[in-house]
Every structure is written in C-alpha cells, then in structure tokens.
Copies of this chain bind each other. A is one copy, B any other.
C-alpha cells in the first residue's frame, strides 16, 4: 500500500488529506495517474462511455452541439469528451425530450463521454437569478421568462436524466470582487449544497465532481476543499475562477487547491481558458479544462495557431496563399488558404465560421495531446516556457 502511495504521489510533497482521500476512494477510483513531471500530471480517466487521456480539453456543446460542428467532425479531430450545459438543456429541449430520447448521448448521437455543469453558473452569468435561498436558485428563463427553482437535488436529477458521464454539483459562483464574510457564507452554502447533491445521486455508473469555492481567499478554498473531500466525490473542480481576477490570482488559487486535492482523483479547472491558461493550469496540477473560447473566437475570426493568434479579418491575409497554421493537420489547414478563409469570414459565410471553429478546436485538442507528450517525455517545463513566450510576445 505504501508503494502505491509513492507511485501515485510521484515527486509531489506528502499530504495527509490526499492520503485520507486515497484510502476512502480507492475502491471506486476511475482515475489512474500514469506519470508526473513537476506538478504536471499524465493520467487516464475511465468513464461510462469511454476512456479519457488527461490532461484533456473538453469542447463545449452548450445546447446539444459543439457550435458549427457535428459528432463526425469531433471524432475526426479525436475529441475524447465534450461538455453540455444543464441550464440550456433544461430549458431547451427540456427534460421530457431528453427522457424520451434516453439521454443526451442518444439525442445528439455522441457515443463518447460527456460532462455537464450543474446549471448554476449560467443562472448567475446570464443575469436571470431572481433570488438565492438555502433551498436553491430561483431564476427566470432567458428565453421566455418562465420561472424555475433549481435545487441541488433537481440539478443532480436533471444531469442523471441527461446521463452525462460526469456531472457537477450545484454551487454558487461567488461574485468578484467579494469581501471575506460574503465569500465565506457563499462557500459554506455551496458546501451544504454539495452534500445534498451527493445524497441525491442515484446512478453509480455516473461520476459526480465536487466544486471548490471560496473566492480569492486561500483559507476559504482550503476549508471548502476539506469539506468536499470529507463528502467524497469521483473528482474535484476548481470553480469561481476566470471571473475577472488577475492571472496571478487565478494561478495562486489554482495552486492552493491543487496542493490539497487528492492526487489520485481528477482535477478540473472550470471554464478556463486561453491556450496559455491551460498550459499554466497543467503546470499546477490540473487535468481537465473546458472553454467556449475556441468556438466563440472562431466565429469572431480569431484563430489560435502554432505561431500565435491570427485575426483573419486583417488585410495582410487578403492575398495570403499559406494555410492558417502550417503545423496543423485539420481539414481547414490541409485544404484552404488564409486568403480564402478571410474572404469567407468577411462575406459572412457560415462555411467560414465552421472552418475557423474546426481549426480552433483542432488546435486546443492538439495542445492537450502535446501537453501529454511533454509530460511523458519529462520536458513539460520547456513546453511551458515555450508557450509563455509564444502568447505574451
């Protein structure tokens, strides 16, 4: 047993909480840590609908499709797991339709893993929260104003109907900036909700992740984490980041959490971020990421490439015969010139939005692959430095 600890802990510092968690969760552990390089972790996560190699980026399929793409496109790009948003899916198509079609996988014809958020973040970020009580979040639909109360129990119930391989607990995304008393009260309610979510879980095939809150206060984050580990989940997410704080703050809080999170369970940094944010997150011990950035920026004409950002609208690309990213092997880069992609974008052609989104998702998925390779080859530190230079030049 001690040998196992040593292997799993790798060269990380010995941590009492991590080992307690390892002991309680070992029977149902779906995550295997294969290797570490510094704090960066190379792992594999076995879910109901398949295996996910970590670190991983998860494309966001908000309302039942990764915008502009099809499941066939995503498989061509070797996407391993995608995200669905419970808030959006709850409103449209709604629970009756999702039940009828036996869950989201069958409805959207995606047979690989899916992760869903709880819906809480959208209620806050879309500004439709009417009232927050101990019971749950009272909100109005952004589509037609219909009123609902999302309780922790309902959030779990909906996500079990969706059938996502991983679902998230309902939490309150603490506003930013926020004084310590408010952040504490908010975190404590999130922890009570986390417990109610765990109690509401009925399907042992599906994983449930707890979410660490506590704003920008390390001590609150540690307290949140202790409570979550005591409840026990199949994985842990760092929530409430990328909400307006500085990058330094984001890194600091990520580090605080990672240093206390169980080494033998997956760690997910929610809603993050740019390519550099992802590499920085991995360097602090994060395994999973999601962000709308590749698809949203693709639709806005901003592309991520091996040579940095490209704004395809720029006049300099008008007569450019080169591919968008010579280092990329996606259909867009294999087939078309920057000149044509610029033309499609300026003409408002849907085909352009699709080709640009396709490349950006390809870029993010390739980035995750390259990260895994860098860890395996123990060159992650150089990899991190390369990206720090590339994205801040």
B344 touches A65 (CB 8 A): yes
Stretch in A18-26, A100-108, A125-133, A238-246 touching the partner: A100-108
Residue A331 lies at the interface, judged by CB distance under 8 Å to chain B: yes
A residues 343-393 in Cβ contact with B at 8 Å: 343-344, 346-347, 349-355
How far apart are A290's CB and chain B's nearest CB, in angstroms?
18
Query: Chain B contacts of A350 at CB under 8 A?
Result: 67-68, 350, 353-354
In contact, A339 and B109 (Cβ under 8 angstroms): no
Binary per-residue interface labels of chain A (86-110) against chain B in the complex, 1 for a CB within 8 Å, 0 otherwise: 0010001100110011000001110
A343 contacts across to B, CB distance below 8 A: 64, 92-93, 97, 107
Are the CB atoms of A355 and B97 closer together than 8 Å?
no
Residues of B with C-beta under 8 A to A67: 349-351
- Is A318 an interface position by the 8 A CB rule? yes
CB <8 Å contact, A63 and B109? no
A109 touches B65 (CB 8 A): no
Interface centre among A64, A318, A351 (most CB of B within 10 A): A351
How many protomers of this protein does the assembly include? 2
Query: Which residue of chain B is the closest to A352 with respect to CB atoms?
Result: B65
Question: Can you list 24 A-B contacts (CB < 8 A)?
Answer: A63-B347, A65-B344, A65-B349, A65-B351, A67-B349, A68-B350, A68-B354, A70-B351, A70-B354, A71-B335, A92-B343, A92-B346, A93-B339, A96-B319, A97-B318, A97-B339, A97-B343, A100-B319, A101-B337, A107-B339, A107-B340, A109-B335, A350-B350, A354-B354
The 10 A-B pairs of least Cβ separation, nearest first, read: A65-B351, A93-B343, A68-B350, A63-B347, A100-B319, A65-B349, A109-B335, A107-B340, A92-B347, A350-B350
Q: Knowing that A68-B350, A93-B343, A101-B319 touch, tell me 18 more A-B residue pairs with CB under 8 angstroms.
A: A64-B344, A64-B347, A70-B351, A70-B354, A71-B335, A88-B347, A92-B343, A93-B339, A96-B319, A97-B318, A97-B319, A97-B343, A100-B319, A101-B337, A107-B337, A109-B340, A350-B350, A350-B354
